[in-house]
Amino acid sequence: MTFFLGLFLAGSFCLAQERRRPEPAPMQSSNPGIQDNSFLIEEAYNQEQGVVQHISSFSLSLSSERSCLYLFTQEWPAVGQAHQISCTIPYESIGDGAARGIGDVLINYRYQLYANADWAWVAPRLSVILPTGDHNQGLGDGSFGVQIAVPISKEISDFLILHANIGGKFIFSSGTPASYYAGGSAVWRPTENLNFLVESLIASNVTVTPGGAADRETEFVLSPGSRFALNFSHLQVVPGIGIPISFRNSEANSSVFLYLSFEHPF
């Protein structure tokens, strides 16, 4: 259960000096290939103007309780590529289906603070958390909140890209402590359409029981994975798979992570 909280906290983001943004073409990475398709770590590439992306991910815990989490995210450019809006909808099953349903929905806004012409890609994100999940079943926080995160992407070479994330979740209910996370990943791409990646994430999560008690746990997740692209005339399909291994309270638990993205003009 805690692993899925950490995954949702990172998942699937601002202080900025206003300056002229380049047109979409110059903002493209020097080696586009597969972009914005990581699993646990967010990449700092906003959607190109006129292109929409539909992202599905499914996580299945291999522990005895067999919990699972499905996330659907849809991303659009807004007023050019410098601004991006998206929506994330979770569906979770906890403890072999003892509790299941839609969790808290996120409405996201990202600003492309820096692009490839600068030292790195940076796209801060601000998300509004809607209390759509049933708090009594452990499917939501029971109150409105916000999530703030900063993803950074740096292209080291044609074959290696590094990403870093830092962020936190703040629930408006009285006395609820904030949750925090930080993580990074390395992506090796032997070809433009085939990538191998290693992602790591540390999260300090707070869960609040229906009675109001807050419990904080720290968890570290390490996830190797791979992804590839299928390119058609006006459509890119990116499937991927990862094996997240979480470490908490001296215990290790593994999961299977499946990813599928569709990206096309609109």
Residue by residue, DSSP assigns the chain as -HHHHHHHHH---------PPPPHHHHS-SS-SS-S--SSS----PPPTTEEEEEEEEEEE-STT--EEEEEEEEEE-SSTTEEEEEEEEEEEETTTTEEEE--EEEEEEE--B-TTSSSEE--EEEEEE--S-GGGTSS-SS-EEEEEEEEEEE-SSSEEEEEEEEEEEE-STTPPPEEEEEEEEEEEEETTEEEEEEEEEEEEEEE-TTS-EEEEEEEEEEEEEEE-EE-SS-EEEEEEE--EEEETTEEEEEEEEEEEEEEE-
pLDDT at 15: 26
pLDDT at 25: 38
Domains, the chain, with CATH or none: 2-265 (2.40.160.40)
pLDDT at 23: 34
**At 208, is the pLDDT very low, low, confident or very high (cuts 50, 70, 90)?**
low
For range 151-180, the mean pLDDT: 90
pLDDT at 210: 59
For range 49-67, the mean pLDDT: 91
pTM of the predicted model, to two decimals?
0.84
Lowest-confidence region among 57-66, 187-196, 202-211: 202-211
Span 132-150, pLDDT tens digits? 999 888 898 889 999 999 9
pLDDT at 117: 65
The answer on pLDDT for 205 being more than 90 is no
